[in-house]
Amino acid sequence: MTLPELPYLTIIIFLPVVGALAVVLQQTTAPGRAIKLTAALFSFLPLVLSFILFLAFDSRTTGLQFVEKYPWIPRLGVNYFLAVDGLSLPLVLLTALLGFLAILASWKISLRIKEYFAWLLLLETGVLGVFASLDFLLFFLFWEVELVPMYMLISIWGSGRKVYSATKFVIYTLTGSAFMLVGLLALYFSTGTFDLVEMSQHPIPATVLPATAIFFLIFFAFAVKLPVFPLHTWLPDAHTDAPTAVSVILAGVLLKMGGYAMIRINLGLFPEVISTYAPLLATLGVVNVLYGAAVTLLQQDLKRMIAYSSISHMGYVLLGISALNPVGLTGAALQMFTHGTITGLLFLLVGLVYDKAHTRQIPELGGLSHRMPVIGIVFVVAGLASLGLPTMSGFVAEMLVFLGTFPVWNVATVLAAFGIVLTAGYMLWMLQRSFFGPLNPRHASLADADALERIPLFSLVGVIVIIGVYPAVMTNVIATAIPQLLNRLGG
């Protein structure tokens, strides 16, 4: 599929900014319908364009595609450098998809509508920019851009200890960013460039700091975002107190920024260092999987339960990266995409349950499927996908991770596989207590999902099943990025 020459990535990234400006400049009416329709339009267009790029992507070749590179700050060697490959394009598509569905999930927002949708659109731009940037300074700027919208969305439209949770998120992320900035400057003064592609073609000289020191400065920032134990404590608080749509974006794509950056930057620029410390990554991955799953078992709040399960599932990404082979890395990349769809769906469902039942406490629910059969069925599908049932996308991603890591770290793989047992335990236990059994009388008048609420649910179920049944639609794209990433490792 041949496309006309256009700056597609620039359009995709900045269309939400145009939408945010259009929203801010509109007159606010009582229901805010025009504002919501504008926000939906400017999040739907990037989704359409991202899907077109995905269809036009040439999976027969390796390397970058849809490249845009222009001098930006020539005196410092900074370029406006955007491009995608098989690693980043699925995440661009995922961000556009969840960004649009988050707008639909926010349709009943009534507080400060104009500001809410403007911040949500700006958040989408920040995340899209991270996945498409190949100039490290540009990457860093987009990395920081998402902080402000996320803080505002949690602290104003959240619930519970919303200001505390938003502040904790910013402090953790800014601390990581400070370390990344030091590493970024050390790289620049060592190589004379911010170009990530150019850096990846040569060993990093130890003119400012040793390569190992730079590696860990940058890795720390990405470990906070993934998050890696013990840098994870911001995540459950942020999820618990964030609005539903923000939780979808946070779990669906913000966490993936950390995993993506580890592959793109830590592996791409420091192959010797990551080879040396791969056992540490494998150990941290196993700890994430088992610790996150064990703590999830103790949760009584639906939203907090899904948040801790995200910590567990991100451990598989770290484990796949540690294998440093094509199968493990493909599994890690696919796990990021599939986790985004599955966990995004779970948070949408939790939001619907809370909106209708006015509680997220599992002991206060019970028998909801009698009154909400559609939500109940979709919750079962999402839960089975999360625990890795065959024909669901979660199974394919975790299987690839295990196939890639077992020949390298067999003990770690066996321990991590036990996380599936724990996941099955907490998911099935939650479903039984919340949706099955006798109906709690206080929920006798609940309504099921309406037509608008079903659109995001069915869309994500479709993606989960399609990839579960025919994973090549995604793995063929991801596989094109792996050879270049492993090239400096000797294979």
Q: Is residue 289 pLDDT above 60, yes or no?
A: yes
Band the pLDDT of 203: cuts 50, 70, 90. confident
Alpha-carbon distance of 10 to 129, in angstroms, equals: 9
Give the model's pLDDT for residue 240.
87
- The kind and range of the H/E element at 476 are helix 472-478
What is the arithmetic mean of pLDDT over 466-477? 95
Would 253 be classed as within a structural domain? Answer: no
Alpha-carbon distance of 304 to 308, in angstroms, equals: 6
Angle between helices 302-323 and 393-405 (to 10 degrees): 40
- The kind and range of the H/E element at 84 are strand 78-84
Would 42 be classed as within a structural domain? Answer: no
The helix/strand/coil state of 79 is strand
Which of 487, 248, 207, 291 has its CA nearest to residue 382? 248
Q: Domain total for the chain?
A: 1
Alpha helices, DSSP H, located in 358-409: 373-386, 393-405
Task: Give 476: exposed, middle or buried? Use CB within 10 Å, 0-12, 13-18, 19+.
Answer: middle
Give the model's pLDDT for residue 440.
86
Mean pLDDT, the chain, as a whole number? 92
Q: Is residue 8 pLDDT above 80, yes or no?
A: yes
Which of 6, 4, 99 has its CA nearest to residue 45? 99
Domain that holds residue 424: 277-491
Q: Is residue 30 pLDDT above 70, yes or no?
A: no
Would 464 be classed as within a structural domain? Answer: yes
Q: What is the pLDDT of residues 166-178, one digit of tens each?
A: 999 999 999 999 9
Angle at 141 between CA 140 and CA 147, to 5 degrees: 100
Band the pLDDT of 195: cuts 50, 70, 90. very high
Retrieve residue 455's tokens: 């659109």
Q: What is the pLDDT of residues 301-327, one digit of tens each?
A: 999 999 999 999 999 999 999 999 999
Would 404 be classed as within a structural domain? Answer: yes
Q: Are 99 and 16 spatial neighbours (Cβ–Cβ below 8 Å)?
A: yes
Band the pLDDT of 28: cuts 50, 70, 90. low
Would 44 be classed as within a structural domain? Answer: no
Would 397 be classed as within a structural domain? Answer: yes
Would 13 be classed as within a structural domain? Answer: no
Retrieve residue 203's tokens: 């060993």
- CA distance readout (Å), 106 to 45, 308, 433: 18, 24, 27
Would 83 be classed as within a structural domain? Answer: no
Amino acid at 83: A
Give the model's pLDDT for residue 31.
63
Band the pLDDT of 491: cuts 50, 70, 90. very low
Q: What is the pLDDT of residues 382-429, one digit of tens each?
A: 999 998 899 999 999 999 999 999 999 999 999 999 999 999 999 999
Q: Is residue 233 pLDDT above 50, yes or no?
A: yes
Alpha-carbon distance of 161 to 139, in angstroms, equals: 31
